[in-house]
Amino acid sequence: MDLLEQLNGLASKLEEQLRQITTAAELEAARIDFLGRKGRLAELMSHLRDLSPQDRPGFGQAANAVKQRLLDIFEERRKRQEEEKESAFLAKFDPSLPGRSVWNGSLHPITLAMQEVCSVFQNMGYEIAGGPEVETDFNCFEALNMPPEHPARDMQDTLYITDKILLRTHTSCVQVRTMMKRRPPLAIIGPGKVYRRDSDVTHTPMFHQIEGLLVDKHVTMADLRGTLTAFVRAVFGSSTRVRFRPSFFPFTEPSAEVDMSCTQCGGHGHVDGQPCRVCKGSGWLEILGSGMVDPAVFQAVGYDPEAFTGFAFGLGVERIAMLKYGLTDLRMNFENDVRFLHQFPA
Amino acid sequence: MLLSFNWLKEFVPYSGTAEELGAMLTMLGLELEEVLHPYAEIAQVVVGRVLTCENHPDSDHLHVCTVDVGGQEPLNIVCGAPNVAAGQLVPVAPVGATLPGGIVIKKAKLRGVPSFGMICSERELGLADDHSGILVLPEADRFGRRPELGERFIEAYGLDQEVLDISITPNRADCLSVHGFARLIGAYLGLPVSLPEFTLEENGEDISMTVPVEVLDGDLCPSYTGRIIKGAKTGPSPAWMRWRLNAVGIRAISNLVDVTNYILMELGQPLHAFDHNKLKGSRIIVRPATDGEELVTLDGQKRALKAGDGLICDADRPVALAGVMGGLETEITGESESVFLECAVFRPSSIRLTARRLGLNSEASYRYERGVDPTGMAFALDRAAALMAELSGASVCRGICKCTPRPWKPVPVRFRRSRAEALLGVPLTDEFCLKTLESLGCTVQCGDAEWTVCAPGWRYDLTREADLIEEIAIFKGVDRLGETLPSIPHNLESFGAPESRHAFMMRVKHWAAGLGLNEAVNYSFVGTADLDFLGLPEDGRVRIMNPLTAEQDVLRTELAPGLFQDVRRNLAQSAPGVRLFEIAECFTQDVSSDTTVREVRHMAMVLTGTRFDEVWGHEQADMDYADIRGLVEKLFAWLHLDTPSFALADGHAYLAPAVRVSMADGTAAGIIGRLKPALADSYLAKKPVWYADVDLDLLRKASQDRRAAFKALPVFPAVRRDITFIAPLDMHAETLLSAVRGVKGQLLDSAELLYVYEPEGAGVRNVTCRLTFRREDRTLQDGEVDKEREKIAAAVVRQLGVTV
């Protein structure tokens, strides 16, 4: 039967045609030519109604077989084409091409250092407290046992707004504000900006401090030592040694400066036989000021110094940042050169 | 405080090195800064004897000397000093020795005569200013020891070779003298302390009755004493005293004045020497000044006085600013032969006030501000008078003029060992506490649980129990107390409280950095000129009364000035793009605030230049309005806030265009826009500078109760269709989108902007919107969506007069 022959010849015709083509578009054109709605198979199928009813089932079965055969041929060819494409892609793939850059966001090193310090104390259970940067003389000095004309005021050159209003010289004001608002027990840290009338290679007129305060019954100086030793180890490593040295702050008594072994020379005081640049040969770096809350401060905020004891401490964030990241020039912190900022990716 | 190690050892038999002493003092709270070697530069200078001294054959002022420096052969030295003579004992810098200022002595030939060293003047040795001739050395040091020829000069005469520079905290007035240090070291190490010995011979009539002292304000001056020394011959002090004062940073002046400085450094008692003959009327009055009085002080400055300044007056007029500085008219001069020597104590706060106001900080005022020991006055006065008499050949008049309206009384302080233990967290014994307190000079009355302790006159800082406990801690060793970790108290109320301001700010910082912005930190103060330049209002600015510079004289009312300066600095460094943010306070006056200032935390962002730093992998383009607005939109969405509205704002100070950002309820939340090109120039910006500022405190409050809320995902698929409108140039995209969204229908889910394209010279722009159609209850048919799209397009065309 002519029609059946034509039908059976489709597969070899297709195979012959496919030998001529290379591209995916040609393959698609061939597919439409043979299998499309108006393609060769469909054209032959349209003659089905001309057949006698008894011939129809046989033709139908044959047509389905041919259709399946054609589909298989196409599928095989398509797979081969894809494999060729994939191997061509792999052959010319250049792994040395750089990655597409996205924006290099960063957090300021002061923020990073501040966050690191805060999280150490937050993990210990301290809450974060805040206060304004413009402060009253009372909160900044008087309540902290520095009456007018106290020589300790010389330790901090102050920027004034008026005679009684000033830019806070330390975050210790946060202690005062918190104690005036709340009753013990209290465990807070207060991070923030502070200001002094001082500008040279080692001082910027604005810098950052973190204040800490614990007030409860039975807080001891040994607690202070344990807490700050834990802090220094958490931030600078467990092998860091800590030294407590008596000092003076008007708002603590007894007071102590806390030194830690030098991050550069490990506390030896020298590197390769030369005095260490960072600690100037002493092996120690001053890192914190601290002490037991002075009873005068408790009185100023209305706490009973017989019932409560407490400790307070304060540290300079820039100093931590300098030691942690090896910064050498303080002023660079406030120039915001993106080449500097990019070094602290967040 | 400069403490000579030698001088100290005259008071206390300390046997360690200066460095060891410094380390010990550091751990006692007196921090060693460094050990100075003031005479290290002249260490190689030796003692020599001039054997012969002839005139130089070819010079009218040079001398050719032979000098015995203990070697086999005398040195041949050419010397230009007019006073050089045979027989003198002189300091010689031999060839190879150094002198101050980096000078190295070399073999030289002066007008044909070889010279093998230099005979030095005091100035060349860095000992004093005298350069009138060479220094002729005394035959023996002050203890009578004769130097050997060739011996090192600084050793032969016992110069103070080691000086400890110690920083003294304001509470330690007792350690502002050699004696004070000796006392502390003696107490700590259990060593005896010896005071200098002297004999005071008094002569003539008793002046205690003939020169009355009146103190009109006993608070100002609790005790005032004086002695009179007559028949003095002023001149230079002996070498040992000049060189010792020089070693601790005090310039020698004359025997009478040097004695007062010497005693000040040695005993910590400031003294003032008046020329007695210039005092008018035989009386001394100590009184507070009245406003408007004047006094010319030693430094020649006329000082306007204020009520409260302490004054020392003679019968007629003020002659000294009490405890701060003497008057010029009664100062000791080369002709003075009679001295009124003042030794007093004054109220620290009053001295401080005066010294601060007049900017006069003297060694005397420094000590008076901190507290001078009233129980040491008598010894200091007698020692000074005896020393003056000895050095100037004068005689000391019998008796002391004095007035002591407030005699020193010890103040009893309670001490409980139990309290000390509770505060320090360490067990203590009664024995240790008693020994410590008594070694410090306290008198202790022991009770069972409570002791009564009286501090000595030199310890102004021991007035409360806590002060005593600190001394116990220091002697116990602050570094040797235990280390414990306290349990941190919590209260139930603190749980579930809203997020703290700090935590919120940190979260936003991380968000911004994660997005790709760089965090900047600028000073809170800027210059008035910076605010003026941006045209910011003058009202409400918070000015600094005593700014360091004019560039830092006002608190910033906005973050813009600092960030624009950052842009400038970065563009100067050829940064291709700048993408900064800052989160900080902005300050304005506010009478209702307890600090008179309102502080609001703002966040500002600035974008300029290329969108990406690297060309690779990106279509290069400059950042634009969409970038900055996108950041603000994203911030709102990230904080779960409703979409803000954006509206043009007219007449902004430094932005054009300026677009006001408002919360959904209309509250102003911030501004975005482009820095005016005329201003951008001075920040070196050639490309547009896009800026955004939002009130972060406001956003924090608004977002406090907001959180992510889940919405069920759509079940049936969406169908998308685009419409391109041809609209006039001045028609805002939002107008078209609103019109699209406003057309009534059941199928439209959302409409977004897809493209804006402006054909060259057409005077119109093509705005393509993407419409998303969806129904929650069934899948849409293509036909009904196409019909809906046509309906919307036609409605917008009708409503806005645009074409499709």
Structure tokens at B20: 């060891």
Residues 188-217 of A with CB under 8 A from B: 191, 193, 195, 197-199, 204-206, 214, 216
Distance CA B47, CA B91 (A): 5
Stretch A306-330: mean pLDDT? 94
Residue A109 has pLDDT above 70, yes or no: yes
Percent above pLDDT 90 for chain B: 85
Structure tokens at B14: 């300390």
CB contact under 8 A, B617 and A99: yes
Whole-prediction pTM value? 0.88
> What integer pLDDT is reported at residue B675 of this predicted model?
97
Q: How many angstroms away from the CA of A227 is the closest CA of chain B?
A: 6
Least confident of A87-96, A201-210, B159-168, B203-212: B203-212
Which residues on B lie below 8 Å from A216 (Cβ)? 486, 489
> What integer pLDDT is reported at residue B106 of this predicted model?
92
Distance CA B541, CA B530 (A): 12
> What integer pLDDT is reported at residue A168 of this predicted model?
96
Stretch B723-748: mean pLDDT? 91
Q: What are phi and psi of B621, to 5 degrees?
A: -155, 155
Reduce the DSSP state of residue B639 to 3 states and report it.
coil
Stretch A290-304: mean pLDDT? 96
Stretch A185-201: mean pLDDT? 93
Which DSSP category does B53 fall into?
Answer: E
* Residue A5, C-beta contacts closer than 8 angstroms, at least 6 positions apart: none
CB contact under 8 A, B170 and A150: yes
Which residues on B lie below 8 Å from A162 (Cβ)? 545, 596
> What integer pLDDT is reported at residue A47 of this predicted model?
80
Residue B437 has pLDDT above 60, yes or no: yes
Stretch B539-560: mean pLDDT? 96
Give B712: exposed, middle or buried? Use CB within 10 Å, 0-12, 13-18, 19+.
Answer: exposed
Distance CA B142, CA B481 (A): 47
- Most confident range (mean pLDDT) of A191-195, A330-334, B763-767 is A191-195
> What integer pLDDT is reported at residue A35 of this predicted model?
83
Considering chain A, what is the average pLDDT of its residues?
A: 91
Stretch B435-444: mean pLDDT? 97
Q: B516 at the A interface (CB within 8 A)? A: yes
Which residues on A lie below 8 Å from B356 (Cβ)? 149
Percent above pLDDT 70 for chain B: 100
B409 pLDDT band, cuts 50/70/90, is very high
B101 pLDDT band, cuts 50/70/90, is confident
Residue B590 has pLDDT above 90, yes or no: yes
Reduce the DSSP state of residue B688 to 3 states and report it.
coil
Residue B320 has pLDDT above 70, yes or no: yes
Residues 22-51 of B with CB under 8 A from A: 26-29, 31
Distance CA B277, CA B153 (A): 41
Q: What are phi and psi of B787, to 5 degrees?
A: -65, -40
> What integer pLDDT is reported at residue A308 of this predicted model?
96
Question: Which is more confidently placed, A320 or B282?
Answer: A320
Q: A156 at the B interface (CB within 8 A)? A: no
Residue B42 has pLDDT above 90, yes or no: yes
Give residue-wise pLDDT tens across range A240-263: 999 999 999 999 999 999 999 998
Closest CB to B169 among A98, A227, A248? A248
Q: How many angstroms away from the CA of B27 is the closest CA of chain A?
A: 5
Query: SS3 string of chain A?
Result: CHHHHHHHHHHHHHHHHHHHCCCHHHHHHHHHHHHCCCCHHHHHHHHHHHCCCCCHHHHHHHHHHHHHHHHHHHHHHHHHHHHHHHHHHHHHCCCCCCCCCCCCCECCHHHHHHHHHHHHHHHHCCEECCCCCEEEHHHHCHHHCCCCCCHHHHHCCCCECCCCEEECCCCHHHHHHHHHHCCCCEEEEEEEEEECCCCECCECCEEEEEEEEEEECCCCHHHHHHHHHHHHHHHHCCCCCEEEEEEEECCEEEEEEEEEECCCCCCCCEECCEECCCCCCCCEEEEEEEEEECHHHHHHHCCCCCCCEEEEEEEEHHHHHHHHHCCCCHHHHHCCCHHHHCCCEC
Q: What is the ipTM of this complex?
A: 0.89
A1 pLDDT band, cuts 50/70/90, is low
Angstrom distances, CA of residue B381 to CA of B99, B209, B246: 39, 18, 23
Which residues on A lie below 8 Å from B349 (Cβ)? 148-149
> What integer pLDDT is reported at residue A42 of this predicted model?
83
Give residue-wise pLDDT tens across range B477-535: 999 999 999 999 887 877 888 899 999 999 999 999 999 999 999 999 999 999 999 99
Stretch B183-202: mean pLDDT? 96
The residue of chain B nearest to residue A279, with distances taken between CA atoms, is: B33
* Residue B342, C-beta contacts closer than 8 angstroms, at least 6 positions apart: B224, B225, B226, B271, B272, B273, B274, B284, B312, B320
> What integer pLDDT is reported at residue B433 of this predicted model?
97
Residue B583 has pLDDT above 60, yes or no: yes
> What integer pLDDT is reported at residue A155 of this predicted model?
64
Distance CA B91, CA B134 (A): 8
Residue B578 has pLDDT above 60, yes or no: yes
Considering chain B, what is the average pLDDT of its residues?
A: 94
Residues 597-636 of B with CB under 8 A from A: 597, 599, 612-614, 616-618
The residue of chain A nearest to residue B499, with distances taken between CA atoms, is: A128
Q: What is the residue type of B780?
A: L
Give residue-wise pLDDT tens across range B618-634: 888 999 999 999 999 99
Nearest Cα neighbor of B115 from B93, B88, B98, B137 is B93
